[in-house]
Homo-oligomer: A and B are copies of this chain.
Amino acid sequence: MNNFESECNQEKLTATQRSQVKRIPQRSNYDRTTIYQILDEGLVCHVGFVVDNQPFVIPTAYGRINDKLYIHGSPASRMLRSVIGSVEVCVTVTLIDGLVLARSAFHHSMNYRSVVIFGQAEIVNNSDEKLAALKAFTEHVIPGRWDDVRQPNRQELQGTMVLALPLIEASAKIRTGMPKDDEADYDLPVWAGILPLELIAGNPISDSQLPKNIPLPGYVHNYDRTTHFKME
C-alpha cells in the first residue's frame, strides 16, 4: 500500500450540515459502498467552485483510489490562479436510470443515482500519487486500457494538474421504482410506468491511421459500463 492510500475505515459517512440531503430525505444514502459504486459507474463529474462569489460548474474526468477522488485540475485552473494548494469544491456525479412516467404531470420524475461531495481539493505534487491518479483516470473510463498504452512520460506527468478530494463529507441520493401518483389518479386511462435509460456503447470506430493487423481489444469489444459497475 502506498503512503497516499488509506483503508476505508468507516462504513457509513456522517451527514454534516452541508452534506445532509434536505429534500426528500428518504432518498438519501450515506453508505460508503453505495457512494463508491455510483462514483465508479459515472464517467464525468461536475466540479463546483467559487471565484469572487461567482459559482462555476465544470464537467471533468475523475478516478477513485480508496477514499480519495482524483479530478483533472485543468478545468479548475481559473480557480487555482487565486488560491495556493487547495480549494473548496462541491463535486457531483449523476447517473440517469430512467424516466418515471406518472398519470399526472406533477408526479413525473426520473430514476437516478447521484453523489454530492464537499471538501477541500488539494493539488497533488507527489509524482507517485499523481501517476497512480492518472492510471485511475484511465482505468475508471475503460478498465484494462492502462497496460496497453504508452504511459505518461515525465513531461506529461508534470503538465497534468491533478486534484485530490478526500471522500469524507458525501451523500448519495437515489430514486428507484414506479411513479407515486395521487390515489384518485390511478383510475385514469393513462399509461404509467418506467422507461429505463442506459448509456450504451455502439460499434467501435478505428482510427484511420491505425497500422494494419491491430486487433480490437476485448475490453473495447465487450465494453459494458453496467456489467462493470452497476449495483447488484
Contact = CB atoms under 8 A, between A and B. Distances in A.
Interface residues of A, number: 93
A213 to B, nearest CB: 9
Contacts of A223: 99, 195
Given A90-B55, A142-B99, A201-B196, A190 B149 contact: yes
A145 B149 CA distance: 47
B195 A220 contact: yes
Interface in A84-125: 88-92, 94, 96, 98-99, 101-106, 108, 110, 112, 114, 116, 118
A204 B197 CA distance: 10
* Minimum-distance CB pairs A-B, first 5: A48-B57, A196-B202, A48-B55, A46-B46, A104-B150
Interface stretch (A6-14, A27-35, A180-188): A180-188
A145 to B, nearest CB: 7
A142 B216 CA distance: 37
A75 B92 CA distance: 13
Given A44-B112, A197-B201, 8 more contacts: A22-B78, A44-B94, A104-B152, A105-B146, A106-B150, A108-B141, A191-B215, A194-B204
Nearest to A173: B59
A59 B185 contact: no
A2 to B, nearest CB: 18
A200 interface: yes
A97 to B, nearest CB: 10
Contacts of A199: 96, 197-200
